[in-house]
Structure 1
Amino acid sequence: MTALRRWRRTASATALAVLLGTLVVLAYQHDGKPFTEVELNDGGVWVTNRDQGLVARLNPQIKELDLGVEAASANFDIFQRATSLYVDDTSSERSVKPVDVAKAALQDPTGLPTGAVVANGGSTFAVVDKVSGKAWVRSAARLRGFSAKTAQPDLEGALTAAVGTDGRAYVLGRDGEITPVTLDEAGNAVAGDRIDLGGKLGTDPDMVALTVVGDTPVLFDRNSLELRRPGAKPVVVEAADPSEVELQQPSGASDDLYLATAEGLERTPVDGGGLSRISRGQVAGAPAAPVQLTATGCVYAAWADPQSPHNYLRDCADDSFDDTSPVPGMQAGAHLQFRVNRDVVVLNDAITGDSWLVQDPGKAKIDNWPAVDPQNQNKSKLKETTDEIPDQENRPPEPQDDDLGARPGRSTVLPVVALNDHDPTATSSASPRPSTSADPSSRSRSSAAAPSSRSPSRRTPPACRPSATTSPTAG
């Protein structure tokens, strides 16, 4: 029986070990249950104020700017997507500067060739050196540390570029051909088949406008006034000033493309066809690049014409959501840009910083820039610190006999200096009176400013009271 019980115990232990080992192996090899990664959304949209050199986050919920960052440049724009923000410094010190939103501070800039064209969409950046014609496509992560002097170009002979909302870049060559570029898993640029948009375009990127609707690139040639789309005949855009023709911002897939002139908003099928005017009333001002939100079926347009009651338009697939009421409080000469983050759209005068919540009834104007100016915040902190110092006459302390006591058996600190000094701008010191070693008060003086380890008397004898001398400080 003893041998049988021993065998059973051994068999049970062996079976348990095998079972546990099997479970460990299965747990190691199993990929786990997939889950949806939740992306935090603060609902904010970033806007600019070039006059003050600031970038600020507009919070639509509270209808205020709630965070400001110094752009450290007089000429700049921004790229934003979800919680990512970049300052596009277009000054002579050309660069792209990531912003640490949590710290409201710029991070180390990525230097670029002077006058370089930069496009951003998704998490992809496209950079074109307009002098050499070299082009690079990088992920946002790999843009840090990028140097045009040492990096091999992904393409040459480039004129400008645009990036779709899906992160695919479209590099336009000086020969009129477009090269789609995607990034592989390692972040390397992979060029696709070239798309011919017909004809040489020269070397000045300011003479062309390029956008993307879904995966279809669209070009406007300011020299010939032609709107060009793949596989379609060019269409001439009638505009008094070709420099004020604005193609829509890159959007998701749609059947239609929108463009704005100083006179109104035009629509045309992406796959080819003529233009049709959809705006109502007359305007005469520089337009913002229209925005098409394919998720909501609405397109937004605005013109820098403060006097016109038709300076704004929201045209939606559902006519009940259309809005033609004007933008209030617009200044003459406004440089209007739609700022979009997720599905929130804000109209921004990039020069003055005036911003409007165009998706809300009334289009509230937001302009509380002093509240988020870091310079003003620093001054406020300095003032608060200064106000903590009382405005009192600087006078010496008035030494008086103190009546101090302590409980037997407890350590007690005797504040012999502080009691007679009511002036925070002066300091006092205590100096003991000469005494002999037999003077019982000598122990009390040596411990007057520190906890006593002995049990003092109920009342401090007169000989323990130090005399006070005053040493005023400056100020």
Structure 2
Amino acid sequence: MLRFIKERKRAAASVGVITAAAVALGVVAFTHPGFTTTDVDMHDGGVWVTNLELNRVGHLNYQAQELDAGLNVPSENFDVVQNDGTVAVIDRMNLNLSPIDTGQASLSGVVPLPGDVDVTIRGGTATILDPADGRLWAFPADRIASFDFQEHDPLAVLGQGGAATADDGGGVHAVSSESGTVHSWQNTEEGFVAVSEEEREQLAEASDLQITSVGEEPVVLDAESGTLFLSNSVTTVPPNSQLQHPGVDRTHVAIASGSELIRQPLAGGEALVEEYASGGPAVAPVQVDGCVYGVWPGDSRVIRDCDDEQGNFDEVIDTAVSDDVVFREHRGVVALNDVVDGVSWLMTDELIMVDNWADLIPPTSEEDSDEIDEESMDDTFENVAPDPSEENNPPVAHDDTIFGARTGRSTLVPVLHNDSDPDGDILTVSLVGDAPDGVRISPVQNASQFQVEIPEDFSSSAVSFRYRVDDGRGGTDEASVTLPIRNASQNAAPEELREQGFEVEQRAQYEHGVLEHWFDPDGDDLFLMDAYSDSGDTVRFNPNGRIVYTATGEPGPTTMTIVVSDGVAETEETIDVEVRERGSSEPIANADYVSVGEGETVSVQPLANDFLPAGDDARLASASPRGDLEVEVDRSTNTLYVTGGAPGTHYVDYTVAAGPNQAQGHVRVDVTEPVEDATPVAVRDVALLPMGEEAIVDLTENDVDPTGGVLVVQSVETDGAPVSVQLLQRHMLRVQDQGGLTERTTLTYNVSNGSETATGEVVIIPVEPPDKPRSPVAVDDTATLREGDFTSIDITENDFSPDNVPFSVEAELVESSLLPGEGHVFVDGDELRVHVVAGGPSYVDVTYEISDEYGNADTASVRIEVEPRDLETNQAPHALEVSSRVLAGNVVRIPIPLNGIDPDGDGVTLVGWESAPDMGRIVEVGPDYIDYEAFSEDSGTTAFQYRVRDRWGAESVSTITIGVAQPGSMNQAPHAATDRVEVRPGRAVAVSVLDNDSDPDGDELSLTGVNIEDAPDGFDDLRTGDEAPTVNFTAPSEPGEYMLEYTIEDARGASAVGTIRVEVSDDAPLQPPEPVDDVVSVEDLTPGEPYVVPVLENDRDVDGDPAELLVDVLTGEGTVVEDGVQVVPGDEFQVITYRATDQDGGEGEAFIFVP
């Protein structure tokens, strides 16, 4: 499949019927009659409670004494805050704050939080405190839905260990152990004005601070020591006590210990202490309307002690009360809430248990009608599969006559475009009977369409065949396909397969491949010529059909115009676009399909085709199998790993969450029995090649192997086309225009599963480059990092150029929130490298810039969430499944992904292989790679396991699968591309000549020599590199242009001569040094004994001597000495950042890791 740009698809096909590839979907109307609730005003003073087990927040109606409304929260760790009608959900898993529309009982928008913060709402003021660094924001509570933490400076920075709250008058109070100070601000028309700043000596020694407000007076508690700070005095309470929730004006503050309720006068003096329990964890009490409410879970005892004794009660609850209870209070209504299972007790009048959560969950959808609602087949980018109903209705297949084909090539036929299923089941297709003589018909694209290969000498006027649709639950139907054969003089313009339309929220982006909804009546290949908004919204696109639509205008209906071409004829159509207000749309979970062998594991990214009108980054919230499957969820990559059990059709149900909204989706999983000695299907590929540029095609991504193995490309034939090709990793093809391509040309390749071989084709379509290329597009990124560690982020992985113009990352960052002493961040090629010291900030925001040779540029941001060193909650890394390919008799280096695979952001190391392959052998294990050798007689697919470990010892095991094929019968010579070097006189240079050389068969290349005999005068020390495939020399002292020759050879002995063009000038660009990380082996260290890391030994300097680089340490406990950087190993690992500077002032940075 084409990789013309780096792509991240967010939406797939439209409605009609749910298919395996979601190219033609049928929608059936299902209704839920609703559930009975008490008819109440949602602003009636009820209280909101939580249920983590059900991922729900519920409204507890104190008049009806039941839960009367609820909503789902797409998170496993959340809480609710509420005061005077303002209610919000704190999502601690995804670090979001979502206000609740109390009238509709729904989440209304999402506000990204700066970290795992503490939130208080009181007196019309909201306070947000990041305890990791003490940043404190305060703002009117009615702005909670729109507050942007990046655009507003904190009210104060308290340092670590602080606490904050709001009071009844809207004032703000905060305490900082770092400064030993209690701060207070008054809420005025001009904003928050500081009114006091009181230093308290004992605060500097506090380590577990709490703060509350009684009326407008702050009270501070150091829970660890039990020191209680009043306005004018200091007293003590039992350690680990809890201050009351912020409350109304009273003469005393309430404190709960593990056994007592303490009422301490604010003016000082003796406290009233009452014992209620035998001991256990303390729960913060509340004071409301002259009553104090307390609970002691260990004894299941609850009390209400009021000024009016008639309101008192003191009871032991019959059922056990867990330690997970908290008091909830809203508009005078008090409830005790077990936050885990949701059980609550109303306490405002009498003690009443409420637990009717089941009433708030809609029952599973049931089918209301066996008839298809034809009006429901509206064309939107939506392929939602309802839950399979108990009774199955068969699908309906319709004959196809609108498609055509040409001889001598293959054609894709999307037969499911007009088929449907009354139950919304995912459909697959298979051939019925035999194909016509000489014609090969194969299900492809997850069995959602057919590839029809017609020979050049086919003489009939049409190809006809029958096919079967299968819903996976026993329902089938059949239909016929007729493909008229088109000759060279016939050409029809492209046509829409179905009308298109989509929704997008204001200021959001929508990404989609529009050509999925088009076909060519002749079977010709299509490309997108133009796309633009008719209302002025921003549309970026590329020829392979990807559009990125940004809604910059006002809400309402609009249209986008696209122009589609087959290279001869063009068609212009409009797509309906509905721009919605922010926060008004929900995600749509589109159906997915995957096939896996019995006992085998396959990875699925179900969110890749889901529809997100708000443009939010989706996350895989949960997944569960139905049937004989094992499912593992990797939330860091939104990936499902599904292991097949018994053969047959099974399902995985999953939840996609985007901001505060979520949707349920399904993955159909067909588990197949093993198949041996079946021929693979090589599916036709298309590469849109800008003139003078290059394109990359993944040849095997859409190919099919019935045996379930790893397909290996053996060779590529160019047949004299004016292009150069390079086979990468035995499946990727790089195609470069050599300046003479003016019309379509077809390349062929041979692909093998080890036992059988198939021939595929790649159609190269030249694309006229634009007069002025459009700017590259930089896309925001996120990452996680453990404090004290470092990481590398591939920030360009999701960036792209609409015109396929090469771009690079600017070395200088636009902006970084990292302050001196907190760590270091820098650009290294396409990666952002980040180190945050222990005790550093809870997050880092970085803005970077990409640019091309035409001066076009774009910026994007990277948010790095920094996890504290809480090793009790350390999670194991998730080793990824890896696949590789190699020809028999060769060695392949298999890169092992280590960055970004740990949910806590820990650094991960490769431990080694866990099990041996059943053919070939492992020859070397490196820091981030494994070298595998396939023996000369090997063929087929083999696998073995490998193990990784994080810094704290948590481990994970995954599988490497390798496809092995015999070499092709013919060996083609490699291609040595010309290297161009600019250098200043007398400078030493090492040219990595193999970087741009290639072999059409994908053979490994080696540098066999440099032509010293015919080299121009003036070149000193001309030779090949000792440890790397480089041509080394010292440039002539005289400026001018020179030419050197070198020889390369492939693994089977074919050779080629390459050229290095050397331009020597006094103003040649200077190249900065390239430092390389140093990982110290634990075997080389003795705790407490100094060790010198020879950092320059593996560093590079293209136009200088690495040994002459100057080193200085930027972060960490390292000392520069003569031979490197000296470190002293201790009880914990260390990270040191160092900088290397060359003779010209060029700089580069790298890390030293000391275990």
**TM-score category of the 2 structures, normalised to the smaller one:** 0.5 to 0.7
Kindly indicate whether the alpha-carbon contact (under 8 Å) linking 1:49 and 1:55 is maintained by their aligned counterparts in 2: yes
Deviation of the 1:183 alpha carbon: 2.9
| CA drift at 1:372 | 0.9
The residue number in structure 1 matching 2:155 is: 154
| Residue from 268, 282, 292 that aligns with 2:287 | 292
The partner residue of 1:341 within 330, 335, 341 is 330
Work out whether residues 196 and 230 of structure 1, in 8 Å CA contact, stay in contact via their aligned partners in 2: no
AA paired with 1:164? Answer: D
Partner of 2:254: 258
1:203 CA drift (Å):
9.0
Unaligned runs of 5+ in 2: 1-40, 373-389, 394-421, 424-474, 478-1155
Query: Relative to 1, partners in 2 of residues 1:106 and 1:196: Cα closer, same or farther, differing over 3 Å?
Result: same
Distance 2:60 2:266 in 1: 33
Measure the CA separation in 1 of the matches of 2:48 and 2:270. Answer: 35
Q: CA deviation at 1:138?
A: 0.9
Structure 1 segment 193-232 matched on structure 2, within 5 A: 193-201=196-204, 207-232=208-233
Residues 310-325 of structure 1 correspond to what in structure 2 (within 5 A)? 311-325=301-315
Q: Residues of 2 paired with 1:143 and 1:317: CA distance? A: 35
1:365 pairs with one of 349, 353, 376: 353
Q: Which amino acid in structure 2 is aligned with residue 74 of structure 1?
A: E
Question: Whole-Å Cα distance in 2 between the matches of residues 211 and 261 of structure 1?
Answer: 16
Aligned to 1:170: 173
Q: Assess if the C-alpha contact under 8 Å between 1:44 and 1:57 holds in 2.
A: yes
167-176 or 192-201, larger mean C-alpha shift: 192-201
Give the counterpart letter for 2:296 in structure 1.
W
For residues 126 and 279 of structure 1, the distance between their equivalents in structure 2, rounded to whole angstroms, comes to 34
Separation (CA, whole Å) in 2 of partners of 1:474 and 1:83: 55
Give the count of matched residue pairs. 340
Closer/same/farther in 2, CA of residues 203 and 50 from structure 1, 3 Å limit: farther
Partner of 1:111: 112
Once the two structures are TM-superposed, the CA of residue 210 in structure 1 deviates from its matched residue by 0.8
> How far apart in 2 are the matches of 1:277 and 1:286?
17
Q: CA, structure 1 residues 105+386, in 2 after alignment: closer, same or farther (shift >3 Å)?
A: farther
Per-residue deviation at 1:384?
6.2
**Post-superposition CA distance 1:145-181 (Å, at most 9, x none):** 4333332222123522011133211122232322222
Cα distance in 1, alignment partners of residues 342 and 309 from structure 2? 31
1:179 is aligned to 2:167: no
Q: Are the structure 2 counterparts of residues 101 and 277 from structure 1 closer, same or farther at C-alpha, using a change threshold of 3 Å?
A: same
Structure 1 residues 384 and 235: alpha-carbon distance in aligned structure 2, compared to 1, 3 A threshold: farther
CA contact (8 A) 1:195 1:230 kept: no
Change (3 A) 1:83 1:231: closer
Q: 1:385 to 1:222 in 2, by over 3 A?
A: same
Counterpart in 2 of 1:101?
A: 102
Going by fraction, where is strand more abundant, 1 or 2?
2
Instruction: Determine if contact 1:86/1:96 at 8 Å carries over to the other structure.
Output: yes
**In the alignment, which residue of structure 2 is the partner of 1:237?**
237
Q: 1:201 to 1:111 in 2, by over 3 A?
A: farther
* Mapping of residues 120-139 of structure 1, within 5 Å: 120-139=121-140
Quickly say closer, same or farther: Cα 1:202–1:48, change in 2 above 3 A: farther
The CA deviation at 1:65 is 0.7
Change (3 A) 1:327 1:152: same
For 1:193, the aligned partner's letter is S
**Cα separation, partners in 2 of 1:326 and 1:161, compared to 1, 3 Å:** same
**In the TM superposition, what whole-angstrom CA distance separates every residue of 1:9-57 from its partner, at most 9, and x where no partner exists?**
xxxxxxxxxxxxxxxxxxxxxxxxxxxxxx9842311111112111000
SS at match of 1:287: coil
Instruction: Show the counterpart of 1:44.
Output: 46
**Cross-structure match for 2:986:** none
CA distance in 1, matches of 2:199, 2:349: 42
* Counterpart secondary structure, 2:53: coil
CA contact (8 A) 2:344 2:353 kept: yes
Give the drift of 1:474: 8.2
Extract unaligned runs of 5+ from structure 1: 1-38, 395-423, 426-472
Quote the offset at 1:357 in angstroms.
1.6
Distance in 2 of aligned mates of 1:219 and 1:203: 11
Q: CA deviation at 1:101?
A: 2.4
Residue pair 1:134, 1:153 contacting (<8 A) in 2 also: yes
- Distance across 2 between alignment mates of 1:130 and 1:150: 20
Q: Distance in 2 between matches of 1:47 and 1:193?
A: 36
- Are residues 180 and 385 of structure 1, via their aligned partners in 2, closer, same or farther at CA, if it must alter by over 3 Å? farther
Greater radius of gyration (CA): 1
Write the deviation string for residues 337-374 of structure 1: whole angstroms up to 9, x where unpaired: 1111111111111111101122344x22111111113x
SS in 2 for 1:329: coil
Alpha-carbon separation, structure 2, partners of 1:319 and 1:52: 38
Percent sequence identity over aligned pairs = 30
2:88 aligned with 1:86 = yes
* Partner Cα separation in structure 2 for residue 341 and residue 127 of structure 1: 19
Distance (Å, rounded) in 2 between the aligned partners of 1:385 and 1:60: 36
In the alignment, the residues of structure 1 paired with residue 88 and residue 49 of structure 2 have an alpha-carbon distance, to the nearest angstrom, of 12
CA distance in 2, matches of 1:271, 1:197: 17
Amino acid at match of 1:319: E
Residue of structure 1 in register with 2:320 after alignment:
330
Tell me: CA distance 1:383–1:144, structure 2 relative to 1, closer, same or farther (3 Å). same
Among candidates 365, 383, 397, match of residue 366 of structure 2:
383
Q: How far apart are 1:393 and its partner, in Å? A: 13
- Aligned with 2:74: secondary structure? coil
In structure 2, C-alpha distance between the alignment counterparts of 1:387 and 1:76, rounded to whole Å? 41
Contact 1:334 1:351 in 2 (8 A): no
Aligned to 1:352: 341
Q: Name the amino acid aligned to 1:314.
A: R
Between Structure 1 and Structure 2, the one with more helix by share is 1
Partner deviation per Cα, 1:284-332 (whole Å, 9 max, x = no partner): 3323211111x3x211101112x55xx111111122222112233234x
Higher RCO (CA-CA < 8 Å; seq separation 6+) = 1
**Aligned residues of 1:347 and 1:356 also touching (Cα < 8 A):** yes
Contact in 2 for aligned 1:287/1:336 (Cα 8 Å): no
Give the alignment's Cα RMSD to 1 decimal: 3.1
Deviations 1:255-283 (A, max 9, x none): 11110011121111111123332244x33
Q: Which amino acid aligns with 2:244?
A: Q
* CA distance in structure 2 between the partners assigned to 1:258 and 1:55 by the alignment: 28
Question: Which runs of at least 4 in structure 1 moved beyond 4 Å after TM superposition?
Answer: 386-389, 391-394
Quick one: distance in 2 between partners of 1:287 and 1:387? Answer: 58
**CA shift for structure 1 position 201:** 3.7
Aligned mates of 2:84, 2:134 — CA distance in 1: 31
Find the aligned partners of 1:278 and 1:79 in 2 and give their Cα distance.
29
The whole-number CA distance in structure 1 between the counterparts of 2:210 and 2:370 is 55
